[in-house]
Amino acid sequence: MPHPHSQTAAFFDIDGTLTSHNVWKGLMDFFSARGERRLTHWLFVAAHYPMLLPRALRLLNEADFRRAWTRHLPWYFQGYDEAQMTTLAQWVARDHTVTVARGDVLALLRRHLSQGDVVALVSGAPLPMVQAIAQMWNVPHAVGSPVEFRDGRYTGRMSEPCIDEQKAVYVRRYFADNGFDIDFKNSYAYADSYSDLGMFEMVGNPVAVYPDKKLAALAKERGWRVVS
């Protein structure tokens, strides 16, 4: 049985769930609009685009592709200080994310907030950007991929990305570290991808949002709620 003081939570993925596009697209657009980090962009493209064909042919594991792509996004802001990161993260939130937001899913998020549930954004995007998006939508908790910050600068390195099964690991760690007693059995998870299975299975109320084909089949099989 849940502890009498445990809290119901709602965990929302961002890419493909709260938005129709990815946070990383906003990150790249920020630098493209300013004509900055062009060499970094070409290095990123050179490192990752050759993976697309083996990925399409299923010669490269999908999870490995996503992990490499996500883990190297901090290349773009290597050397940034806190003020520069704030500018970047707020631009991604207010000039990109808001333009691709899904109003129907945002309404679900706001309903959970109004009910007094613990609400968190959970994303593979770099944590400062997840925090900026959460702040924009008045969401009190943000769980994202941790990026290294040393001697006042971002180093361009990332710890294990907050993707796939790691999402549930990071969520549990975040709320335990912050003294929350979450009633996971009565909590909710909203996401669009089968890769979020770990987060879905963490809660008693999984909701497939604009699901990919594999997730849609699983949701039908298990009788999960679907939003599309």
What pLDDT is attached to residue 57? 79
Q: Which of 220, 209, 224 is nearest to 108 (CA)?
A: 209
Mode of pairing for the β-strands spanning 188-191 and 153-158? unpaired
Q: What are phi and psi of 160, to 5 degrees?
A: -55, 125
Burial tier of 86 (Cβ tally within 10 Å: 0-12, 13-18, 19+): middle
State the residue for tokens 């290294």.
148
Mode of pairing for the β-strands spanning 141-145 and 118-126? parallel
What pLDDT is attached to residue 54? 80
What pLDDT is attached to residue 3? 53
From the options 1.10.1060.10, 3.40.50.150, 3.40.50.1400, 3.40.50.1000, give the CATH code of 9-227. Answer: 3.40.50.1000
Check pLDDT > 50 for residue 1.
Answer: no
Check pLDDT > 90 for residue 63.
Answer: no
Confidence of residue 217 (pLDDT cuts 50, 70, 90): very high
Average pLDDT, the chain: 95
pLDDT tens, 45-57? 999 888 888 878 7
User: Which helix (DSSP H) or strand (DSSP E) does residue 147 occupy?
Assistant: strand 147-150
Q: Where are the domains of the chain?
A: 9-227
Confidence of residue 4 (pLDDT cuts 50, 70, 90): low
Tell me the residue type at 200.
Answer: F
What pLDDT is attached to residue 133? 99
pLDDT tens, 125-166? 999 999 999 999 999 999 999 999 999 999 999 999 999 999
**68-97 mean pLDDT:** 97
What pLDDT is attached to residue 74? 98
Please report, rounded to a whole number, the percentage of residues in the chain having pLDDT higher than 70.
98
